[in-house]
Amino acid sequence: MSRLLKPIDKILDKTQTDLDNMLIERVQQPLGWVILMVGLYVGLLVLQLPDKLTAVLVLLLKTVGTFAVAWMLFRAIDVIISGLERFTAKTESEMDDHMIPLVKRILRVALISVA
């Protein structure tokens, strides 16, 4: 997976922030699973297996793919929150500092509920 992201890493190294690098690092493993599920799905369509078997395997791939995407988004929330923490550290108000953990929990619970 790291070979696929090598060109992206070179581009991201030129940016002023390290949040994009953190995002790629955090979602690398789940992104590999998503790519694997897409590849298996395409392979399944090419094989033209019996309809019932194909239906079961497609359902399995969609289920695992959904969990992989949810896992990827779950890990991306950490990077988003890190960016918010950096932003709120620059403000004078302490209210926003106390809101960050609440926003993080809400995002995670919403993601789990949707997944």
Per-residue pLDDT band for 9 (boundaries 50, 70, 90) equals: low
Q: Which residue has the tokens 């929990």?
A: 105
Banded model confidence at residue 25, pLDDT cuts 50, 70, 90: confident
Q: Cβ contacts of residue 112 below 8 Å, gap of 6+? A: 70, 74
Confidence at residue 23, expressed as pLDDT on a 0 to 100 scale: 82
Six-digit token pair at 14? 């030129």
Q: How far apart are CA 103 and CA 69, in angstroms?
A: 20
Return the structure tokens found at 82.
């890190």
pTM above 0.85, yes or no: no
51-93 residue pLDDT tens: 899 999 999 999 999 999 999 999 999 888 988 888 887 877 7
DSSP3 helix / strand / coil % (the chain, rounded to 5): 85, 0, 15
